[in-house]
Amino acid sequence: MKDLQSSLDRPALLSPLNFIDGEWQSALSGETFAVHNPATGEVIANVPDSQPVDARAATDAASRAFPGWREKLPKERAAILRKWYDAIVANGEDLARLISLEQGKPLAEGRGEVAYGASYVAWFAEEASRIYGDIIPQQQRGKRMTALKEPVGVVAAITPWNFPLAMIARKIAPALAAGCTVVAKPAEDTPLTALALLKLAQEAGVPAGVINIVTASREHAAPAVGDWLADERVRKISFTGSTAVGKYLARESAGTLKKLSMELGGNAPFIVFDDADIEAAVAGLMASKFRNGGQTCVCPNRVYVQSAIYDRFADVLSTRVAALKVAPATDEAAQIGPMINARAIDKIVRHVEDALAQGARALTGGKRLTDVGPNYFAPTVLADATADMLLFREETFGPVVPLFRFDTEADALKAANETPFGLAAYFYSQDVRRIDRVSRLLEAGIVGVNEGAISSEAAPFGGVKESGYGREGSRYGLDDYTTLKYVCQGGLA
Ligand code: NAP
């Protein structure tokens, strides 16, 4: 831990403790769990292994803080959010180092994540003052009807490991802007960045109890979060993670009928039509597929290429992929870092072995890189992928591009939509009519047209089908943290 702190410009940024009611504290049991560097497997810190009693203390604090926070003027909440944004930017280099250290992404991407996460805080600082309701045109004399947006209450935010800063920032910022208070649990693999983010929130003047965070090991996550699911004071769950866990949370919280936002898994198709600009399509695929080593929910998982250009596309792509530099984040030239843990590597190996056994051909990569470290996989292009393979049905979450061949637009659309998931979808074409048609017919919450980089704080991010519901970012993102109250005032005639 000392080593880790000394690698930061501001060692005090990191308190390896829960943050509850404005105090940094151990789990009541005193138990901790280890956080590892995925590049080496080394332990870098120990943080509290929280139990239901710690989660309950967080809810107590958030619920006490709620009346005071909701009564603040929107511009007062906005001013605090703005200070938090400034603090994140000012400490950006330390945050980027922490992200890269505990999550493994190259430092340049760590810096990108800081800017991306901070952009949500700046955005919602501005949106805080724009939570409008409606005055409903009068229907009866003597009555005034208004629709008001009110904060939903205490929000439980549960986040994954792949964006340790951005995922939690894009939940806490709208919650605070709307007047909600928060209890949060980051992923077991990446709690340190979230704790540093909370330190900066404290310094920015977020009052005690408004944001609370508890860390927990995978073993204790379900019981700790379970306390929030059953607690009627927690009025909303904002979850980002796998579809299986999202379904479990929806089921288990049904007893208290909470408002839910579910940002779940994807299985994004990426379609390249034969009228596409091939160079642009390869560049877009490289940008969206290999971000975070292929470990993002919007990474293309299935790449469909029209028969006439299949071989040429495969050639250009595999040359680019073979040139990617795989190295730990400490190497400034790294483009692909380690996968998050051994489970992640096992899944990638399973998918690639299954595909090869069923007739796929590895044009480049296809194997682990144990000489680089324990959790590395070679950037891979697999030709002749088919719908019988595991990587067609499941998110691979790694640096593997399977290339499927198709003949007609109808075939491509049918295959792209043949999945229970519907988060992102991409396609490349230069035909305006096709662009309009395919954008409408793809079953996805987000569509990239001749573009691989789609995320923005100003746009609604979220899925359809089993990729979940609710939206993060944009002006729509606040709706998830508010409820509508209808007020009917009579006797005005
Ligand atoms: P995950 O296993 O579902 O975990 C997400 C969070 O839920 C973690 O904090 C995890 O804690 C916690 N959790 C797991 N089981 C739980 C339980 N039974 N009760 C309460 N909490 C529980 O997902 P992940 O592997 O971290 O993240 C990868 C997934 O997230 C992928 O499917 C990806 O597509 C999806 N994702 C979606 C979006 C989006 O915006 N739609 C964005 C990013 C990622 P532990 O870490 O301790 O297990």
pLDDT at 3: 75
Task: Pick the closest to residue 212 from 263, 172, 249 (CA basis).
Answer: 172
How far is ligand 1, taken at its centre, from the CA of residue 188, in Å?
10
How far is ligand 1, taken at its centre, from the CA of residue 208, in Å?
27
Is the Cβ–Cβ distance between 210 and 175 less than 8 Å? Answer: no
pLDDT at 321: 98
Which CA distances in Å does 276 have to 135, 384, 412? Answer: 49, 20, 14
How far is ligand 1, taken at its centre, from the CA of residue 388, in Å?
26
pLDDT at 182: 99
Specify the ligand 1 atom closest to the Cα of 160.
Answer: 26
Q: For residues 299 and 466, what is the distance between their CA atoms, to the nearest angstrom?
A: 16
Q: For residues 192 and 14, what is the distance between their CA atoms, to the nearest angstrom?
A: 7
Q: Is 171 in the pocket of ligand 1 (CB under 6 A)?
A: no
How far is ligand 1, taken at its centre, from the CA of residue 302, in Å?
21
Is the Cβ–Cβ distance between 455 and 162 less than 8 Å? Answer: no
Q: Is 158 in the pocket of ligand 1 (CB under 6 A)?
A: yes
Give the rounded distance of the alpha carbon of 58 from its chain centre: 23
Sheet with 482-489: list strands edge to edge. Answer: 134-136, 144-151, 482-489
Q: Is 224 in the pocket of ligand 1 (CB under 6 A)?
A: no
Q: Which of 168, 234, 297, 464 to mutate to test the pocket of ligand 1 (most atoms within 8 A of CB)?
A: 297
Residues annotated catalytic, as ranges: 263
pLDDT at 301: 98
Tokens 């051994």: give the residue. Answer: 342
Q: Which of 162, 214, 263 to mutate to test the pocket of ligand 1 (most atoms within 8 A of CB)?
A: 162
How far is ligand 1, taken at its centre, from the CA of residue 9, in Å?
30
Tell me the pLDDT tens digit for each residue of 253-262. 999 999 999 9
Q: Is 481 in the pocket of ligand 1 (CB under 6 A)?
A: no
CA 158-115-483 angle, to 5 degrees, is 45
Q: For residues 377 and 55, what is the distance between their CA atoms, to the nearest angstrom?
A: 37
Residue numbers of the chain with a pLDDT score lower than 70: 2
Q: Is 187 in the pocket of ligand 1 (CB under 6 A)?
A: yes
Tokens 């006439």: give the residue. Answer: 308
pLDDT at 7: 86
Specify the ligand 1 atom closest to the Cα of 298.
Answer: 34
Q: What are the φ/ψ torsions at residue 134 (nearest 5 degrees)? A: -135, 145
